[in-house]
Amino acid sequence: MIDLLGAFTTVEESGNGHYFFQHSLPKNVIQYCLKSLPAMDLVTVCDDVVDTDFATVVLNHAPPTLSLLQPTVFKIADNNYGFSYAMAVPGNYHSSLKGALDLDREKLYLCIPIHRCEFSGKESEAEFKEAMNRVVPVFKWKRDAHPKLKVYFDNPDSGAGTCEDGALLKYSVLLSEIQNLNGVVNGFMEITNYKGEVVEVLSPALDNFTLIRNRSEEEAMNFPDLINQILAFAGVWDK
């Protein structure tokens, strides 16, 4: 038994191995659900809603064996938040409960509900932390989908761009950069989604765009049609 009362004022037990507790901060309250198993510990963290039933669902759907080297993506039951999957990451990927409990952090898995387009499930520790800190508010369960989009682009007119390795961009930022590319004949954009698929965007003339799929399939379109195609490519409707 983990001594939760030594670290948290109030702890509620479900009776089936789930423990609920919270940490109050100046601007919000962080809700935890912990499930302790012989081989590992699982925790959910949320800062925008109190939903012990859903936290239990997420942890109960976790596979009996999880990787110590990379995330594990798994299906969960239908829910009010629109999540179809969750992802468990090992202790070196997160700092939840760090310093609060005497746990084997290597085997303390943070389980986050996700929209499928948000993570590939192959992220390194650094990639996951970058996504969590810059793009996906993983502790907000009422969030809309924040698709994983790695973008390599160059816009000589605006001076904006990335290195060849690309950078994670929020969807809203991506749309802004596509608009800025309008009519920039010598500019380009390459977008990679969570599946590792790639499309390219060019603008050969003002208000004219070219979408290139699979490095060879070119289609001319206007800006609204391009955005619809990018939305589908990003996977925001994937289940």
Per-residue pLDDT tens digits for 142-166: 999 999 999 999 999 999 999 999 9
Q: What is the value of pTM for the model shown?
A: 0.93
Helices (H), 90-234: 125-134, 171-180, 223-234
Long-range pairs, 150-154, Cβ under 8 A, ≥24: 150/191, 150/192, 151/177, 151/189, 151/190, 151/191, 151/192, 152/189, 152/190, 152/192, 153/177, 153/181, 153/187, 153/188, 153/189, 153/190, 154/187, 154/188
Residues 135/165, Cβ–Cβ less than 8 Å: no
Going by pLDDT thresholds of 50, 70 and 90, the confidence category of residue 177 is very high
Q: What is the DSSP letter of 144?
A: P
The pLDDT of residue 24 is 85
Q: What is the mean pLDDT of residues 118-141?
A: 97
Per-residue pLDDT tens digits for 181-230: 999 999 999 999 999 999 999 999 999 999 999 888 999 999 999 999 99
Going by pLDDT thresholds of 50, 70 and 90, the confidence category of residue 11 is confident
pLDDT exceeds cutoff 50 at 1: no
The pLDDT of residue 28 is 87
Going by pLDDT thresholds of 50, 70 and 90, the confidence category of residue 5 is low
Q: What is the mean pLDDT of residues 164-176?
A: 95
- Measure the CA dihedral 146/229/199/89, to 10°: 20
The pLDDT of residue 56 is 96
Q: What is the mean pLDDT of residues 106-114?
A: 94
Domain-by-domain residue ranges, the chain? Answer: 4-134, 150-234
How many other C-beta atoms lie within 10 A of the C-beta of residue 5?
Answer: 10
The pLDDT of residue 102 is 65
